Structure 1
Amino acid sequence: MALPLVITAAVLAFAWPAGRISPREVPVGIVGTGPASQHAVEALTRAKPGAFDLHLYANRQAARSAIKNRDVYGAYAISGRSITVLKATAASPSVAQLLTDVGQQLADKATEQIARQEAVDAHSRARAHKQAAATPGAVQQKAARQDSAGADSSAQILVKTIDVVPIAAEDPRGVVFSSSVFPLTICGILIGAFVTMARGLARPRQRVLTLLVACAVAALGVYLVAQGFLGALPHHPVATWAILSLDLLSISATAAGVVRLLGPGGLGLSAAVMVFVGNAFSGATSAPEMLPEGVDYVGQWLPPGAGASLLRDTTYFDGNSGAGHLAVLALWSVCGLTAVMFGHWVTGKPRGTQPGATASGELLPALPGSGEVLPAPRHAHAHRRDGDG
């Protein structure tokens, strides 16, 4: 009965956040404090309650700086006849598309309001025209000029988009980015399993050194594929490689440390937490603010979510807003490595004992080879014959 329940929980962990993707307090900027900007704030608040966390900026330059600093995902600059959407597809292609769609909706509603207002003005002008029918020609000419001016003022609100921080041209939808991040969790679990179960790595220092080297080499391979072959990580190559290494280390060290403390069963526990919770709640395919409430916080406190966010911040935003994610990865790495180094103090096992091994260091007792004769017990009782003295 336990296995079907585990499978059901795993499917739920992945399917539930994906099926409930919707904007929740997504940070968005509004340029200016004039009447048009105030109307935009009211329209956004009324149309999508709780969807956006709105911030006001004095001008477009301030809004651009906020986007590059990862304070907001985008901003709306509203003028009399146009709405400019400042977005960052590198932050999240799905959020960037959402901002564009909402900008078009704002423009359509503004156009409808202008059309209704112009209809009311036209009706008023028509009444004034009838009243002025009997007036001298000069007044009629003035009314005609007003009618023509009103007709010329009718125009549709246009939507312009500016990509402040564009994503790599080879990965316009961010699919390669997310596809490169998700396997890191499984690879980290495999590295941790190898380090804890390899019989040649008896000492804690050897395991720690192997973890560091394996994660660095594996991260280099990931970078060569993601950027060298697919072009999805175009900026800051050294920093990107370092973040990939730290991401792998935080997962593999945690897995190795849990196995060291709990035995072989710890491998399944760490895999379940990192894969079924960490990957599913990471928000790598959309954004943490698009996930159900509470899920985003859990995901960003686990290495898969923190690693994906830090990798995005480092690759496209010069590391802005990445300090918290860096601290999360460092914390998991330090805790995992500490458990690998000093876990024998908790378990009471000798330092060189492998998980699940006997005190002598052997996984199974030695068996006699073919053709060998088992030695007779030293204290076997001899049978005495009748009549012996």
Structure 2
Amino acid sequence: MGKSLWQWQKEGTSWRGIGIYHVTLTVPSRQPLLGRLVVTDSAPSKARVERTELGRLLLECQRSVPVFHPEIQILQYCLMPDHLHMVWYVRRPMEKSIRQVAQGFWQAVKKLGRAYSYIVEGESDACLTGGTMNERDGAVDACLTDGTMNERGGALRLSSIVEADSQKNSLCLAIGKERYCRLDPVFIERPFLRPLSRRGQLHAMIRYVQMNPQRLATKRMMPGFFCVQQGIELGERIYSGVGNVKLLSMEHFAAVHVRGMWVRAAERGDRQQLRNYMNGCVIEARKGCVMVSPFISPQEKQVMRVLLDEKHPFILLADNGFRNYYKPSDALFEACAEGRVLILSPWTYDADKRHVTREECVALNEMTAELVKLLNE
């Protein structure tokens, strides 16, 4: 993996100092190895994740982070079937950087992954009823216990092969380094680190982590509005989109584009033009007009919040494309589930993109005007 993956934090900030980080560890294959989503009474609000033994041991590994690094406090976590979200609070400067801590955590969970792969590899010729897995190796005891149910109805105990918080590697010693290194580590991608630096980000992130099971349940129960749809042709442009494409068939559309001159006038005390325009956008939405905008400026975001609060439909033009398993942000998620929003982007997904540029803002506003004209024809 390239070193650049660790380098995108803002220049001038320290990876060793006090800070809050959103850390995500993923099973790249997206297999539900860590747990199973359970939805009671078909109600997403009652969704929960039943942990597999691999998931349980992964959480034990996470709990060892503050033991080895007492500067770190785990504020929130959520285990999902194929990934783990964590919010880490670095309370005081560390000798090691947060990157090194994440690297150490990653090495520990890869050891768990190889132990899991060893068990799966041995299932084809292991007797699951006798209490010992892979007796041909003669060193690893995988006694059956109340762990994860496998396809044959048995249960395998990973903790008897490797301890999540142990520095030892008994499996490597037992089967030899060469064979050990050939085992799939499962967690082949480094944890993703995102520093939280803006006001309100921590509260929003904790809520996002807490709501993950509910979001996944909602997506599974309403897959149509959350699937990334490619090849949406509008005029001479081709968009990808998430949400309700039927909004494109509505009768009336209007753009939300707050002009800089109105904002500057408001800063000098003349707020009337800006107030009238923003109020006018809301009034049009109340009349049934679908508002279209990238909603970039603070004033445009205020209009979008009113549209969300009053449950009016709108189209959002995004400055980046959609990754696999994309989920709208907390504010947009409910509106997307209810079919009140369509998110469009003319660009492919760029994993390295962090901020919208001025050139992109101008382009998005031009696309908005172009799209509104096209849809109103």
Same fold per superposition (TM over 0.5): no
Q: Which has the higher strand share?
A: 2
Q: Which has the higher helix share?
A: 1
TM-score norm. by structure 1 comes to 0.23
Q: Which structure carries more relative contact order (alpha carbon 8 Å, separation 6+)?
A: 1
Greater Rg by CA: 1
TM-score norm. by structure 2 comes to 0.24
